[in-house]
Amino acid sequence: MQVSIPVIVKDPVVTNYKDIKPTEQITVEADVFLDGPVSPRVAVVDFEPDSGALAAPARFAAPKARARRGSYDVPHPVSMGDPDVHPIATAVSVFGAVHKTIGMFEEPDALGRSVDWAFDAPQLLVVPRAGQMANAYYERESHSLQFFFFADPTRAGRSIHTSNSQDIVAHETAHALLDGIAPDLYAAISPQSLAIHEAVADLASLLVSLRCRELTRRVLQDTWGQIDNSNAFSGLAEQFATALDPERNYLRNLNNRTRVQDVPSHGPHELSTVLSGAFYTLLRMTYEELRGHYASKSMPDPTVVAEPEANYVEKTATAGEPRRSTRSTSGALGSNEKALFIAAERIKRTLVRGLDYLPPGDVNFADLARAVLASDEASHPDSSTLREWLVQEFITRGIVAGRKELDVKTNFDRKSLLEVDIAELVASDFAAYAFAQRNRAWLKIPRNTPFEVRPRLDLTKLYWHRDTRRTVREVLFKVSWSEMENNRSGGGLPRQRRYRAGTTLAIGLDRRAPYVRALITSRRLEQDRQATDAMLKELIESEKLHLSATANSGPSLLRGAIEANVGSGVLHVQGMARMLHVTGLTR
């Protein structure tokens, strides 16, 4: 079943001054829709701020007669120039924006699969009016996205609702999705691991906003195609940021040149701009390359974007809402528009598929860079120019010292893969453990260390070759283990701590015999250890690290603290990703 949903574009302030319609109409598809809105994967639960009771839900109107699409009744639709949004309009909009983000990650030319949430349940709960605070967050423990509101400094008695910002909704949804894709990041103790979470969430906001045709068209018109002349895309959460600081019209700007060494504090939010900035630069370079070609009606260099890939993006962007798609559409694409869409889709694919290749554990930017380059090579074997641009970005921004650090051996045969039944490896935990045990040294599992094999992912993705597109099956096999290192954070904490490490094995199944598409193991460096020391110290000093007296103190009743316990003299920190939002430590 499909439902048509009005989603607030950017936020009510941006659409007003840009003079564009305040909502875009998107289509969401699911087996069932209920009042709320509720779908099998997303449920909006709106609590009245004054009473705590559940607010009246948005009523689902089933498709009439032969119509394919249903809708939700929005008695007071969002109106142009009115920053006040009725709670039902907000509930419907946030539902649509969450689905829009999910769709972008899961569609066939991205992950090509449905992401399992990191919590053991099928539904992500969304609270559009969670309480009064200038914040919004994803919280694994309560299976929820929580959007808060705060007093509008420019309008007495009125509030700014973070749930009315598509950027913020996409950002938090991306945290939930990434937690499903790479759950170890939630417990990682490295600032760069947390920064990956934040950068991916920021990039998701960017990419989701680029899918709004009217917004992109207006920005491209206003800037004569020079997207650097506007922060409409690169600047995030404008209404929210301006309310907190009138001098700032974005929360973070992705259009930056920040390098790792420019962030000595190792703050995850600041660090994240290094990574998001690298991908934004890639977007900009790809866009500039493509717009020149499309303006002159020449074909782009296939080593940048293959023709089948460009055709696919253009078709899906203009041909109505294909199955599972959540794009808003209308009419043919102009050359700049086309260039921007194709560039954005390419960046999306490169990033999101890289996340799937990410090894489990405490990973750093270099681990992600290796995963991104390896997965991109599989997805776009002939489009190497873009990877070269990325390599240069990773070096320039201090993510790696040189290109050798980015080398991953790809596409090679391995005898042990020929000896294993891939279907059994995917289906049977026993077979998976036996395989890991047999290949322990190859998978870099330390001796005498217990390990954990993650559920295998059997995926079918679209791959783009110079002349054609292919549907390719691959299996991702991930194994992780715990390691110890010295803890020099001080603060009275133990002198040793635990972190997780892991390996991803990507098995290609598009040849006669299974082969290794990539083998990537996390590489923890001395600078990662130092950064962890600094972050733990900061947590202690800000009194946000709650140290249980024993290793068996049970679940904490605290919501705003990072939990740590000490067992056998070793520190074990849990749920560190909560520091990104829940603790209110940083924004």
Residue 156, classified by CB atoms within 10 Å of its CB into exposed (0-12), middle (13-18) or buried (19+), is: exposed
Q: Which is nearer to other proteins, 35 or 84 (CB)?
A: 35
3 contacts other proteins (rule: CB under 8 A): no
User: Total number of residues binding other proteins (CB under 8 A)?
Assistant: 53
Is the separation of the CB atoms in 121 and 43 below 8 Å?
Answer: no
Q: SS in 3 state form for 482-522?
A: EEEEECCCCCCCCCEEEEEEEEEEEEECCCCCCEEEEEEEC
549 contacts other proteins (rule: CB under 8 A): yes
Report the distance separating Cα 102 and Cα 95, nearest Å. Answer: 11
Report the distance separating Cα 188 and Cα 201, nearest Å. Answer: 17
Q: How far is the CB of 142 from other proteins (least distance, A)?
A: 4
Per CB under 8 A, the segment of 8-16, 61-69, 96-104, 492-500 that binds other proteins is 492-500
Q: How far is the CB of 584 from other proteins (least distance, A)?
A: 6
550 contacts other proteins (rule: CB under 8 A): yes
Give the x-and-dash track for 391-430 against other proteins (CB under 8 A): ----------------------------------------
141 contacts other proteins (rule: CB under 8 A): yes
Q: How far is the CB of 491 from other proteins (least distance, A)?
A: 5
Residue 24: how many CB atoms within 10 A of its CB?
27
494 contacts other proteins (rule: CB under 8 A): yes
Report the distance separating Cα 326 and Cα 324, nearest Å. Answer: 7
Report the distance separating Cα 524 and Cα 473, nearest Å. Answer: 31
133 contacts other proteins (rule: CB under 8 A): yes
Q: How far is the CB of 125 from other proteins (least distance, A)?
A: 5
> By three-state DSSP, how is residue 271 classified?
helix
Say if residue 37 is preceded by a cis peptide, omega within 30 of 0: yes
567 contacts other proteins (rule: CB under 8 A): no
Backbone angles phi, psi at 184, to 5 degrees: -65, -25
Give Cβ neighbours of residue 110 (< 8 Å, ≥ 6 apart).
104, 348, 349, 352, 353
Report the distance separating Cα 356 and Cα 379, nearest Å. Answer: 12
Q: How far is the CB of 246 from other proteins (least distance, A)?
A: 22
Q: Which is nearer to other proteins, 143 or 500 (CB)?
A: 143
Q: Which of 19, 48, 388, 421 binds other proteins (CB under 8 A)?
A: 48
Q: How far is the CB of 533 from other proteins (least distance, A)?
A: 12
Q: How far is the CB of 164 from other proteins (least distance, A)?
A: 18
543 contacts other proteins (rule: CB under 8 A): yes
Q: Which is nearer to other proteins, 141 or 467 (CB)?
A: 141
Q: Which of 50, 247, 419, 526 binds other proteins (CB under 8 A)?
A: 50
Report the distance separating Cα 299 and Cα 38, nearest Å. Answer: 44
Q: Which of 76, 114, 142, 467 binds other proteins (CB under 8 A)?
A: 142
296 contacts other proteins (rule: CB under 8 A): no
Structural tokens at position 424: 């059994």
Give Cβ neighbours of residue 289 (< 8 Å, ≥ 6 apart).
300, 301, 304
Structural tokens at position 468: 């054609």
29 contacts other proteins (rule: CB under 8 A): no
54 contacts other proteins (rule: CB under 8 A): yes
Is the separation of the CB atoms in 250 and 231 below 8 Å?
Answer: yes
331 contacts other proteins (rule: CB under 8 A): no
Q: How far is the CB of 496 from other proteins (least distance, A)?
A: 13
Q: How far is the CB of 50 from other proteins (least distance, A)?
A: 7
Q: Which is nearer to other proteins, 157 or 450 (CB)?
A: 157
65 contacts other proteins (rule: CB under 8 A): no
Give the x-and-dash track for 231-260 against other proteins (CB under 8 A): ------------------------------
Render 66-126 in DSSP notation, one character per residue: T-SEEEE--SS---TT-----HHHHHHHHHHHHHHHHHHHHSTTTT-SPPPPSSSSS-EEE
Q: How far is the CB of 147 from other proteins (least distance, A)?
A: 11
Helices (H), 211-319: 213-222, 238-244, 268-295, 307-318
CA angle 89, 94, 97 (to 5 degrees): 125
Is the separation of the CB atoms in 75 and 55 below 8 Å?
Answer: no
467 contacts other proteins (rule: CB under 8 A): no
Q: Which of 17, 31, 32, 298 binds other proteins (CB under 8 A)?
A: 32
Q: How far is the CB of 159 from other proteins (least distance, A)?
A: 13
Residue with tokens 């010292």: 401
Q: How far is the CB of 62 from other proteins (least distance, A)?
A: 14
Residue with tokens 């709004």: 212
Q: How far is the CB of 268 from other proteins (least distance, A)?
A: 19
Q: Which of 51, 296, 298, 568 binds other proteins (CB under 8 A)?
A: 51
43 contacts other proteins (rule: CB under 8 A): yes
Give the x-and-dash track for 100-119 against other proteins (CB under 8 A): -------------------x
31 contacts other proteins (rule: CB under 8 A): no
Contacts 24+ apart (CB under 8 A), 146-155: 147/94, 147/172, 149/49, 150/243, 152/83, 152/243, 153/243, 153/246, 154/243, 155/83
Q: Which is nearer to other proteins, 60 or 279 (CB)?
A: 60
560 contacts other proteins (rule: CB under 8 A): yes
Instruction: Tell me which residue of 114, 106, 116, 122 sits closest to 39, measured CA to CA.
Output: 122
Q: Which of 1, 18, 49, 398 binds other proteins (CB under 8 A)?
A: 49
Q: Which is nearer to other proteins, 396 or 553 (CB)?
A: 553
Interaction site with other proteins (CB under 8 A): 32, 34-36, 38, 43, 45, 47-54, 57, 119, 121-123, 125, 127, 130-133, 139, 141-144, 148, 490-494, 540-541, 543, 546-550, 553, 557-561, 566, 584
